[in-house]
Amino acid sequence: MAQGSKKAVLYAICVNAIITCLKFIAAFVTHSAAMMNEAVHSLMDTLNQVFLLVGLTHGGQPADRVYAFGHGQKKYLWNLWSAIGLFSVGCGLGLAHAWHAYHNLASIEVPESIAFLGFSFSPIWVSAIVLLIAFVLEGYVLVVASKEFLSRMRADGEENLLHYLVAADDPTLLAVLLEDTIAVTGVLLAASGIGLTHMTGNPMWDIGFSVLIALMLGITAIFLGIVNMRFLTSIRDHDAEYAFEDIVSNHREIERFHDLRSIIVDDTHTVVVAEIELREEVLMTDMRESIAAHERELLERVPEQRRSDAVREYAETRAIIQATLERTERVIDELEAELKARCPQVFHLTVEVEGLAAPSKLDDPEGLSVT
Distance of alpha carbon 22 from alpha carbon 42, whole angstroms: 10
Strongest mean pLDDT among 58-62, 100-104, 297-301, 339-343: 339-343
Q: What is the torsional sign of CA 172, 178, 180, 182?
A: negative
Q: 238-368 architecture in CATH?
A: 2-Layer Sandwich (3.30)
Domain boundaries, the chain: 2-230, 238-368
User: Stretch 82-95: mean pLDDT, rounded?
Assistant: 75
pLDDT for 243:
92
What is the enclosing helix (H) or strand (E) of 281? helix 280-283
Per residue in 257-310, pLDDT (tens digit) is: 888 988 887 777 888 999 888 877 666 666 777 888 888 888 888 888 788 888
Least confident stretch, 34-38, 236-240, 265-269, 361-365: 361-365
Q: Report d(CA 11, CA 191) in Å as an integer.
A: 24
How do residues 204-255 score in pLDDT, each as one tens digit? Answer: 888 888 888 888 878 888 887 777 777 676 678 888 999 999 998 888 888 8
Residue, of 317 and 232, whose pLDDT is higher: 317
pLDDT at 109 (0 to 100): 57
CATH number of the structural domain 2-230: 1.20.1510
Would you state the torsion angle of the CA atoms of residues 239, 243, 246, 251, taken in this order, to the nearest 10 degrees?
Answer: -160
Q: What pLDDT score was predicted for residue 106?
A: 60
Note the pLDDT tens digit of each residue in 121-152. 676 777 888 889 888 888 887 887 788 788 87
Instruction: For residue 173, name the pLDDT band (cuts at 50, 70, 90).
Output: confident
**Top-confidence residue, 155 or 243:** 243
What pLDDT was estimated at residue 339?
A: 92
Write phi, then psi, for 67 (nearest 5 degrees).
-110, 95
Q: Quick one: pLDDT at residue 68?
A: 67
pLDDT band at 118 (very low <50, low <70, confident <90, very high): low
State residue 272's pLDDT score: 92
Dihedral over alpha carbons 334, 336, 339, 340 (to 10 degrees): -120
327 has a pLDDT exceeding 50: yes
- What's the pLDDT score for residue 242? 92
More confident residue, 208 or 363: 208
Residues in contact with 330: Cβ distance below 8 Å, sequence separation at least 6, in sequence order: none
Of 103-112, 160-169, 285-294, the one with minimum mean pLDDT is 103-112
pLDDT category of residue 356 using cuts at 50, 70 and 90 = low
